[in-house]
Structure formats: C-alpha cells, structure tokens
Amino acid sequence: MIKKLQALKAKKGFTLVELVVVIAIIGVLAAILVPTMLGVVQDSRITSADSAAAQIKNQTTNFLTQMDAAKKSLTNGTTTDPAPMNIVVSNGNWTVTGGPGSFGGNGTWNGTTDKNKDYAAYMKDVLGDIKNAYINVQLNQGKVVGVMYVDGYTTYDGGVNPTQAQYLAGSINWAGSKAGIDGSQYIVGTAPKLQKSTT
C-alpha cells in the first residue's frame, strides 16, 4: 500500500508553462486551418451552383430541341434580339417571366401542366431536386447562351446579371473575392463558367 502511495506521489501533471505552450500551438493551428476550411466549403458551394447551372442549360437545350422536333417553333422576336428569362423556383414550383414569347402550337414557357409543351412543367419534372432558386437564362435565336443560378433565394439583388457578351467572353467583373461570389456574397453559379475579369 505504501508503495502505491509513493508511486502516485511520484507521478507529475503538466506544468502551467506546458499547458500555455500547448494552448498557444492549438490557437496557431486553428488560425491557419479555419480560414482554409471555410475556403474549401465556399469553393464546394460554387462548384455545386455551377453544376446546377450547367444542368439547367442542358435541360433547357433539350426542351428547345424537343419543341423543334414537334414543329413548335419559338415566336415573338427570337431571331434577332437577346431574350432573357427570369425563373423563380419556390418550394419546387417553377415560374417563368420574360423570355422570347411562346411556341407555335400551344407550347408555352409557363402556364400549363403538360411537361411536353410547358417549359416550367418540364423543368420541374426533370430537375425536381431544385426547391428554391433564382435563375436567369439568356436565349438568342432559339439557343441557350448562358445560365445564372442562385441557390436558395427566390429573389436576387446581388448585382450580377451576365450579358450574352460576357458569356461569350467567358468572364465578368465579379465584385466578390473570387469567381462565383458577387459583391453581396451570394454564391452564383454560371454556365458556361464565368471567370473573374482582369479588367
């Protein structure tokens, strides 16, 4: 029993200096790693938004091709003027405003529930995992020039609204710290991907 008590007395804990040094090292590591990890999360969100924008671009192109195959051409000025569409997805329901007009043969951008004739119904069907978003689609001459996607918001006032020229050039003046972040810190996906303009 005496030997056990002597063994317990012989054991020493950490000194105050050792504890301060360990805490200082942990603080330095946290100061280095936390911003790095936040940047990784931000990059992941940008990549995800770009992927969603690319899916919207591809599915919009598929819908336009499907309408062409059904001999339902776009009407109202799509041959010369750019025709942006604003889309709001709220609780999984797609609502389209703007755009080039409608399609011949009762096809519409928004207003029926027939996914074979109505763009909003078609997109809800093929991209049902998008629940809340603000989307801008640039069309010209019946083709998709570019798509902007802001996840989680049904309104958007961040100031990034790419033009067709910017999509064609592949860059825009992102006011945020990197491509995919606007001046109000919204995460914005684009297809094709718009880089940060150097001018």
Per residue in 55-76, pLDDT (tens digit) is 999 999 999 998 888 888 776 5
Residue 3, in any domain of the structure: no
Predicted TM-score of the model (pTM): 0.78
Q: How many domains does the chain have?
A: 1
Residue 183, in any domain of the structure: yes
Residue 43, in any domain of the structure: yes
Identify the pLDDT of residue 146.
94
Residue 2 has pLDDT above 80, yes or no: no
Residue 4, in any domain of the structure: no
What is the CB neighbour count within 10 angstroms for residue 132?
Answer: 15
The most confident of the ranges 23-32, 66-75, 118-127, 154-163 is 118-127
Residue 108, in any domain of the structure: yes
Q: Before 84, cis peptide (omega within 30)?
A: no
Residue 140, in any domain of the structure: yes
Residue 17, in any domain of the structure: no
Residue 16, in any domain of the structure: no
Report which residue type is found at 133: A
Identify the domain containing residue 122 by its residue range. 32-196
- Nearest-CA neighbor of 172 among 150, 151, 199, 146? 199
